[in-house]
Amino acid sequence: MISVKEMRALEINSSALGVSTLLLMENAGRSVKDEIVKRFNVKDKVAYVYVGHGGKGGDGLVAARHLADEGAKVTVILLGENKHEDAILNLNVIEEMDYSITLVEIKDMDELKPISADILIDAMLGTGFSGKPREPFRSAIKAFNNSKGFKVSIDVPSGINADTGEAYEDEYVKPDLVVTFHDIKPGLLKYNFNTVVTKIGIPVEAEIYVGPGDLIVNARSRPYYSKKGDSGRVLVIGGSYTFSGAPTLAALGALRAGADLVYVASPEDTARIIAGYSPDLITIKLRGKNISPDNFEELKLWIDRADVVVIGPGMGLAEETIEASKLIVNYLKEKNKLAVIDADALKAISGFDLYENAVITPHAGEFKIFFGEEPDKNIRDRISQVITYAKKCKCTVLLKGYVDIISDGKRFKLNKTGNPGMTVGGSGDTLTGITATLMAQKIEPFIAAYLGVFINSLAGTLAYNRLGAHLTPTDIINEIPNVINNPLDSFKRKLYKRVLS
């Protein structure tokens, strides 16, 4: 099954890979014709195509053109202006086909009456529809259902919510055949329609690899009436007597990704250094040179206030810090707290059973420490390995590498938007911060993890295009807004490529 949102992401990803939505529309409309031709000799048959707004209307126009080419007597009934770019191009073609196709533009509801034909095609309301049909579609649906002929719905019958199957009373098309694209839509399962699934040329890679479509359909908008904290409170627990940069980078990554408030809890001297890096960060000064069990009670108060907790960047592996990491992670698990566990904290809790609201972000060495096994060199075996271990630890695993692999034990995604410059120290810390912000904005952990690595890697590649292998983590941070604000444009500007073999 595939939801409306997932299908939209695939179409955008497909376009970004070079398979245009215009080509997908062509394939969709032709597949409708093909399914009809399987059932009828359409030569000299009378066909009516009811065309609405959006992409579904465009699919209907393509189907009309191909039916006319097969010798059918085609009439296209236009139900208002279509502003979809690809549909307009196909309408321009239909307007020039005045010998083989009759074009009727409905301007009055009284014109919508039941007809008798051999074939009727429903290209009215698409997968974006929900609620109660408005005019002229309400009258058109009624006329369509009361007409005589073999009735075909494109993708989903008009008037039905593609995700839920909900329909307002009896105001939806009742077809003899549904031709749906790429995969079954969940709403169709509520009905006993004769449904055929056809492929329309979307590359497998558009689904497997994270792309700009995934970010576009999942990104959270910020309403005008938002108040402080609505876009997330992130707590970063990290830093030590030796390391101050890692938690700072994680926190700055979280801020640039759109978190409202970011707190950094570090040992007191380290926290003062971090505060000096940026006035944007709120520091919590913990007693001692390293994070220790003595800090646990104070940290619990801050953990409870945060939407998401990042733990690990720059914590070090002092004995007292390892014990603190175990205490904190157990508390996070007890609270089922959204968390990103990385770096030294991940090493400290190797072998732990985690929980579904946790994301871990190991590189190959940390993966071996945590799971006791090196990542396989064969990429397909490595994917299976990550899926298996994600299921075992009951969390989302983001294995960083030349191709990043993300799995929650049931699903997986790959990312290859990075570049060789991403080996610079600190790029993983920016990733944890971005991922934490997405989780704080109510994006589920698995999706937040694959969007986080996509944003971080693509931001790094934009910086790499400018600087080559001389980029720093702060260069990555500076590019984060460009990726989030313009994911499709940023993806098209990506120059560095690699091939999965």
- Find residue 267's DSSP bridge partners: 286
CA torsion 393-394-399-405 (nearest 10°) is: 140
Q: Are strands 396-399 and 404-407 parallel, antiparallel or unpaired?
A: antiparallel
CA-to-CA dists, residue 18 to 22, 24, 58, 419, 492, angstroms: 11, 11, 20, 21, 10
- Find residue 275's DSSP bridge partners: none
- 489: buried, middle or exposed (CB in 10 Å: 19+, 13-18, 0-12)? exposed
Q: Is 158 annotated as a binding residue?
A: yes
Q: Is 150 annotated as a binding residue?
A: no
Task: Specify the DSSP element, H or E, that contains 196.
Answer: strand 195-198
CB 214 within 8 A of CB 13: yes
Q: Are strands 282-286 and 308-311 parallel, antiparallel or unpaired?
A: unpaired
Dist CA 64 CA 36 (whole Å):
11
Q: Is 122 annotated as a binding residue?
A: yes
Q: How is 457-490 classified by DSSP, letter by letter?
A: HHHHHHHHHHHGGG--HHHHHHHHHHHHH-HHHH
Structure tokens, 397: 């695993």
Q: Is 470 annotated as a binding residue?
A: no
Q: What is the SS3 assignment for 151?
A: strand
Dist CA 225 CA 248 (whole Å):
30
CA-to-CA dists, residue 426 to 106, 215, 469, 474, angstroms: 61, 23, 14, 9
For 341, other C-beta atoms within 10 Å of its C-beta total 26
Q: Is 187 annotated as a binding residue?
A: no
Q: Is 363 annotated as a binding residue?
A: yes
Q: What is the SS3 assignment for 415?
A: strand
Q: Is 429 annotated as a binding residue?
A: yes
Q: Is 130 annotated as a binding residue?
A: yes
Dist CA 37 CA 474 (whole Å):
59
Q: Is 368 annotated as a binding residue?
A: no
Q: Is 149 annotated as a binding residue?
A: no
Residue with tokens 């595939």: 2
Q: How is 256-307 classified by DSSP, letter by letter?
A: HHT-SEEEEEEEHHHHHHHHHH-TT-EEEEESSSS--GGGHHHHHHHHHH-S
Q: Is 454 annotated as a binding residue?
A: no
Structure tokens, 63: 């189907």
Q: Is 270 annotated as a binding residue?
A: no
Q: Is 213 annotated as a binding residue?
A: no
The beta-carbon contacts of 189-196 under 8 Å, at least 24 apart in sequence, are 189/1, 189/165, 190/165, 191/157, 191/160, 191/165, 193/153, 193/157, 196/35
| Binding site residue list for AMP | 428
| Binding site residue list | 122, 126-132, 155, 158, 246, 314, 363, 428-429
| Binding site residue list for K(+) | 122, 158
| Binding site residue list for (6S)-NADPHX | 126-132, 155, 246, 314, 363, 429
